[in-house]
Structures are given as structure tokens and as C-alpha cells.
Structure 1
Amino acid sequence: MTRGMLWLLAVACGVAVGNVYFPQAVTPLVAEGLRLPPDRAALVVTAAQIGYACGIFLLVPLGDRVPYRPLITTLFTVTGSGLAVAGFAPSFGPLFAAGVAVGVATVIAPIIGPMVAGMVAPERRGAASGTMLAGSIGGMLLARTFSGAVGEWLDWRAPYLMAAGLAFVMAVVLWRALPKTKPHTRQSYPDLLREPLRLLRNEPELRRSCFYQAMIFGAFSAVWGSVALLLTGPAYGYGAQAVGLLALVNAATMVATPVAGRIVDRYGSDPVNLVCMLAVIGSAVVLAFGATELVALVVGTLVLDVAMQSGMVANSIRMYALSDTHRGRLNTAYMTCAYVGGAVGSWLGVQAYTRYGWRGVCGLVALMAVAALARHAVAIRSRSPSRQPSPRGRS
């Protein structure tokens, strides 16, 4: 794993993940272009996340069964085709369906992550995973900024069509650059689909990582699924480009995640998880002032982004340590739970905004972080020395 290959794969993660997030910046333009209520147009974000969760469950296990090069390049090709269909969608129904299809196919980052983890030394997994996550974050941020700016300049269809072209380019580049690999297993596809469920049942540390990320990513999605409604609404009156600029301010997250990876390599996942959960609660307090203060909105989203992404590094490293040969299936269980939490959080965030305004969204963020923190407290308490059986009891 050369440094050049590592960064190429980080870019591939960013291009793939960006397809899930760029609709967040163009939902007001979709509402205007298709003459939809804003809350219904916001469902295009939920569509991508629903599709992503389904794709993780259905396709990511193939990373253990199919060589990486044909699998990744095929997924990029299908993603590009789905984005092109979305760009020409005449109404909400086809756009929603194409968004789900794109979400299903663009599950490339969860396949690249286990691949990279298997190609680097164990003591470098945290740093390498942080680099992959930095690429994904860059894709998230730039996709929102790009789609907001291009959407206002042209229309909401342009970001979909440009993203389609970029996906086709990545398919060609990776077909030429990726090394040939051998599959980890010859299990049948039905067995591969059952394996993540078995792992969830048998691995308590996997369940813990899944719950943490589902709650924190749900809080993150609640904010980013509804912030476009706030910025383009009467409180601020900005255009769709403002959502992208807000995301671009949070580019500091790209620096934070490799650092978080090195901290996890040194101190373990639990201390990083604890700090991240507390930071999400703090971000909810700051974001509450963002209903009318732009500075609070910027600071709050920055803290939230850094906390969510750093927590993802910590949870991923805990999960990868469970097995050297089941990483794809472990990642399937983990990422499916995370994106189910994200889809639910995105939907709940829009509902909270519609009924209670921006501070209702902030309350939802705090509630989800508190749930993760309570689970973490139970895990730490159960491992404390005072609760371990005595030597006599063990005998």
C-alpha cells in the first residue's frame, strides 16, 4: 500500500460518499424546480440514505467474496448510470427511485475501508482508516459546496449530471490502478447476507459500535437534513449555495480524523468515543443559538462534524479488531446500522423542524447523543474492576 495508492483510494471514497450528501444542498432547488413542498423535496436526502443502508447490507459483504477491482469499478459504473437517470427525472417519483438506486450502488467507501485495513500493518490501521475517512469527509464537504453553487448557477439537475460523469471517470481510473486481489471466502451469497446478522448476535463489541454510530450519525443527519430549510427560510433567507458554504467551513474535519485515528492507535477507542459523545451534546447547545446567529450555526456544525467523524474512526477500529478475515461482513453490520440511524435521524430532523422549528432539531440531537452516552456508561461500568467476579467466584 503506497502513499499514492492510499490517497487515490481516499479520493475514491470522497467521490462515492459525496453522492449521498450533495442532495442536502439542492433540496430547496428541487422543491422549486418540481413545485414540491420543501419537506417533501427533503425526502431526496432520505432516499439516498435508505438506499445506502440497503446497499451496505446487500453489496458490501461481496467485498469478502469478489475481487476488489471488478467490484469497485462496477459499482462506480452503476452509480454513474443512476445519477444520470436522476438528472433527467421528470417528477418526484422517478427522482426518489433513482436516489435510492444511487444510494444502493455508491457503497464503495465501506468496501475500500476493509480492503485498506487488510493491506496495512495493524499498528497503522488507525492512521490509514483516518485517511480514508478524511477522503470521505472531503467528498461530503465539497459535494455540498459544489452542488449548491452549480445548482444555483444552472439548476438542480446539473449536480446530478456532473456527479454522473465523475463516477464514470473514477471507474476507468480504478480499473487501471487497483491491484488484483483474491477473495477471503467462497461462501455463497445467501450465507454472506446471514453472516453480518450472526456477527451482530455473537459480538457484543460490534453491537456497541453499531449503536454508538447509529445514534451519533442520526444526530448528524438530523442537522444536515434540515439545515437547508433553516438557511433558505425566513430566519436567514439565503440561497442553496449557503448550505454548501456552511459545509466548506467544516473542512477542518478532514484534519481532525487522521489525528483521531492516531489517538485511537495509542489510547484505544473508548476514550475517543466518550469525548465525541460529550462534544455532540455540547454542539446541540451551541446549535440552538444558530436559529438566529450564523456564528453559532458555523461553530455548532463544526463541533458536530468533528465529533461524529472522530467517533466513526474509533468505532471502526474497535470493529476491525474483531477479525482479520471477516472485515467486509463486520463492516456490513456496522455501516448498515449507522446508515439506518442516519436515515431515521434525517427523517426525524425534518419532522422536528416542521413541528418545533430549529430548536426542536437541536433537542433531537442532544437526545440521541445522551442515548449513546448512557450505553457507553453501562459498558464501562460492566468492565470496572469492582464488578468483576472474585477469583474464588470464578473457580
Structure 2
Amino acid sequence: MNTHQKPALTSTVVWLMAISSGLIVANNYYNQPLLSLMARDFHVTDASVSKIAMLTQIGYALGLLIIVPLGDLFRRKRLIVADFGLILLSVLGMALSRSLGMLYFFSFLTGLTSVVPQLFVPMAATLARPEKRTQTIGFVMSGLLVGILGSRILSGWIGNIAGWRSVFFIAFALILVLWFFVIWKLPEVLPEYKGTYKELMKSVWRYARTEPALQAASLRGGLLFASFSAFWTSLVFHLGGAPFHAGSAVAGSFGLIGMLGALMAAFTGRLAKRMSYFHFTLVLLALFLAAWSVFWFGGYSYLGLIGGVIILDVAMQALHIMNQSSIFSLHPEANNRLNTVYMTSYFIGGALGTYVAGLAWQHWHWNGVLVAGTGFAVLAVLTHLLYRRVYLKSRAAGPRTQQRVHHAMPQQGEQPVLQN
């Protein structure tokens, strides 16, 4: 196989990518419903254990920055198989940790190594037929998002029954089985980039500096995930107090409600055809803000929390798909590097949201979390509106600049992702 031939993207491979993405990314989120149990086990405060979620997201952001670009430099399957071994080591370390310091270290390492889904998404975009690219990305992302939300359900229930360590032992077994299927079924994709790692990383920075569409998607995505993470990290603490007095199982069960958002992701490409990229994204941002309005007025009732979670997750996952669809149209041969810029920003935002929410909860409890989450959401809307001004200015800046910005702004009826 040469660099001009691509292996066929069969339905089996797409399903393998989706399932793998879900089970691997779940490692980053098992800890969230378990934070209270960990705090009780190690006799520390809620604020101390909330750093576990933050360190996982920081590790993930760093993994996106230093590992994901390698997908443009090395054989994709070989890189993924090697990373699986590191994931197994990290998850087992979580299960065997005997101090809060060890949990901090292995939480960071878990995040650092669990970036395989962000190798699968560009891989799916590369191998899919142009007319199916957005739907294929949406399907793989649906698996990833089910993993994010389902992990909270699984860890909440199992942690409540068998303790938080058992969750990570089960995760180790699942990843081990999955590893053999990846070795067996995943096709190999040869790299198109011919430079050195240093040159590769310089090109990542060049794309970050010169692509307005990538900058807008990255900043908007980071702010949205900061808002999203602020809610989910604080939910277990909020449910533990009055009037709920609920345990980790109830907090984890909210992930089942949030799965509606994951299902929404599979249909984002079809819905995006009905209006321009800018206006469809603006509608989704308004929906995201509406979720926080529900939390403000109904956050002390199960009905209000359930309604808000449904709206928040639907909007969040659809916005994530729109962001990724736009950047993968810019330079198809550099999809991993573009995804690196976007996803690194995304998880830096998530870590920031988790950190700010931890401080807000410590000082002002639920009201502080509401201010933090809403504030990040408002900044995301302002970012989108500012980018609209950049797009309009580009019309007077010449065809080349306009074309680059236009890549992420399809007109009504067009796919968010351009064909190769």
C-alpha cells in the first residue's frame, strides 16, 4: 500500500473505532462520581479530590499536544497499539493507588495516554468517503460521548456497591480485551508527512497562528468545555447536600440522561444542512445558555437538574461535532495536527472549568458554580460573534483570506466539511 491508497473503511472498523473511543475516554471520567468516595477513603476534603479530575484533564491536554500529532508522522495502527499498553498501566495504577499523591500521578498519566479517540476521529475523517465524512465523524464521536456519559453511570453504580477501586479494575479488563480486537481488525494508515518531529510540532504552532477558523473553533470549544466541566465536576457535591442527600450512584445516573446528547451527535451533520454554519452554531449556543438558565431556576429539584442536563448535553455534543467538522476541511493531510490544536484547547478549557468550579464550590457552593458555568458559556457566545466579524472583514481582504475563513462557514445547504 502506498501513500495514495487508503484501506476501505468498513462498518466493522467504524464500530470498532466508536466502541474503542467510548471505552478509552471513559477512563478520564470514571473518577467524577467517585470523588466523594475517594475523599472519604483518604480522609481529605472535597476540594483536594477535585484536583484528580483537573489533573486528568491536564494530562489529556498534554497528550493531545505531544502524542496526537504523531499520527501524521508514524503508522497510525502501530502508534495506537503502543498507546494501549500505556493506558493499561495507567488504569491499573489508579486501582492500586494507596495515597492521594499516587492518585494524582496516575490520574495525570491516565489522561496523558487516553488520547486514542483523538487519533480515531481524524483517521475516520481521512478514510471516509467525502460525502459521508460528517456522518462518520458523528458516529465515532457518538461512541466517544456515550463513553463519557456512560462512564459516570458505570462508576457511580459500581463504586456505590463495590468501592471505587473496583471500577478501575473492571476498566483494566475491558481495555485489555479491546486491545486484542484493535490489533486484529484495525487497518494501517501510512503517514503523509515526511518531516521530523520538531518540524511537525512547528507546523502545529503555524496552523494555530494562521487559521482563523481553527482559532475560533478552539477558543469556543475550550470555553464550552470549561462550562460543561464546571457542572459535571460539581454535580456529585451538589447532590450530596440538601435537599438531595444522594450518593455516587445517583450522580452517576445523570450520565444516562446525558446520553441523549450523544445520540444527538450522530444527527448533527444532517441538521447542519438546513442553515448556515454560523447560524446553526448560534442556535446551539443559545440552547447551551438555556440549560444554565434551567439550573439557575430549577437546580434544587431533580426535575430542574434533569431538564438542564438534557439540554446541556444535546447542545454541547452538537457544538463539538460542528467545531471538529469545520477544522477537518482546512488541510486534510494535517488532520491530526489540526485536531491537536482544537482538542488541546478543549481540554485546557475543561481543566480550567474544573479548577474554577472547585474554588467556586469551596467558597460559594452551588451559586458559585452557576456563576462560573454561565460566565464561560457567555464568553463562548461572544467568541462566536467576534468570529462572525472576522468572517465579514475577510470579504474585503482578498479571495485567499476569505477562502480560508470560509472553509469553516458553509452556506445554507452545504456540508460543514468540504470534500477533499
Q: Same fold (TM over 0.5)?
A: yes
Contact 1:261/1:310, CA 8 A, preserved across alignment? no
Does residue 199 (structure 1) correspond to residue 207 (structure 2)? The answer is: yes
Identity score, percent:
28
Question: C-alpha separation between the residues in 2 aligned to 1:2 and 1:254?
Answer: 22
Does residue 72 (structure 1) correspond to residue 80 (structure 2)? The answer is: yes
Contact 2:262/2:317, CA 8 A, preserved across alignment? no
Instruction: Trace 1:276-287 onto structure 2 (pairs within 5 A).
Output: 276-287=284-295
Aligned pair in 2 of structure 1 residues 235, 354: CA closer, same or farther (>3 Å)?
farther
Structure 1: gaps spanning 5 or more residues: none
Query: What is residue 319 of structure 1 aligned with on the other side?
Result: 327
Question: C-alpha separation between the residues in 1 aligned to 2:331 and 2:260?
Answer: 32
Aligned pair in 2 of structure 1 residues 325, 390: CA closer, same or farther (>3 Å)?
closer
Contact 1:84/1:161, CA 8 A, preserved across alignment? yes
Aligned pair in 2 of structure 1 residues 41, 191: CA closer, same or farther (>3 Å)?
same
Range 220-229 or range 268-277, more displaced: 268-277
**Aligned with residue 5 of structure 1, among 9, 13, 22:** 13
Question: C-alpha separation between the residues in 2 aligned to 1:78 and 1:70?
Answer: 13
* Distance apart, 1:273 and its partner CA: 1.8
- Which secondary structure state, in structure 1, belongs to the residue aligned with residue 266 of structure 2? helix
Instruction: Trace 1:221-300 onto structure 2 (pairs within 5 A).
Output: 221-264=229-272, 267-300=275-308
Residues 276-324 of structure 1, C-alpha deviations (whole Å, 9 max, x = no match): 2111211111012343111111111111111111111111011000011
Residues 18-66 of structure 1, C-alpha deviations (whole Å, 9 max, x = no match): 1111111100110111111111112111111010000000100011111
Instruction: Trace 1:329-340 onto structure 2 (pairs within 5 A).
Output: 329-340=337-348
**Aligned with residue 343 of structure 1, among 330, 347, 351:** 351
Query: What is residue 96 of structure 1 aligned with on the other side?
Result: 104
Does residue 20 (structure 1) correspond to residue 25 (structure 2)? The answer is: no
Question: C-alpha separation between the residues in 2 aligned to 1:133 and 1:342?
Answer: 18
**Aligned with residue 378 of structure 2, among 370, 381, 384:** 370
Residues 247-281 of structure 1, C-alpha deviations (whole Å, 9 max, x = no match): 11122112211111222356453233212211121
Contact 2:259/2:313, CA 8 A, preserved across alignment? no
Residues 361-389 of structure 1, C-alpha deviations (whole Å, 9 max, x = no match): 12222211211211222222343489847
Residues 138-197 of structure 1, C-alpha deviations (whole Å, 9 max, x = no match): 101211111111111111111111111211211111010011221121221222222221
CA RMSD of aligned residues (A): 1.8
TM-score normalised by length of structure 1: 0.95
TM-score normalised by length of structure 2: 0.89
**Aligned with residue 129 of structure 1, among 126, 137, 148:** 137
Residues 106-138 of structure 1, C-alpha deviations (whole Å, 9 max, x = no match): 001111000000011222211111111110111
Range 231-240 or range 169-178, more displaced: 231-240
Query: What is residue 124 of structure 2 aligned with on the other side?
Result: 116
Contact 1:211/1:372, CA 8 A, preserved across alignment? yes
* Distance apart, 1:231 and its partner CA: 0.9
Query: What is residue 42 of structure 2 aligned with on the other side?
Result: 34
Question: C-alpha separation between the residues in 2 aligned to 1:80 and 1:388?
Answer: 53
Aligned pair in 2 of structure 1 residues 274, 154: CA closer, same or farther (>3 Å)?
same
Aligned pair in 2 of structure 1 residues 386, 328: CA closer, same or farther (>3 Å)?
closer
**Aligned residues between the structures:** 391
Which AA in structure 2 matches 1:65?
L
Question: C-alpha separation between the residues in 1 aligned to 2:21 and 2:198?
Answer: 27
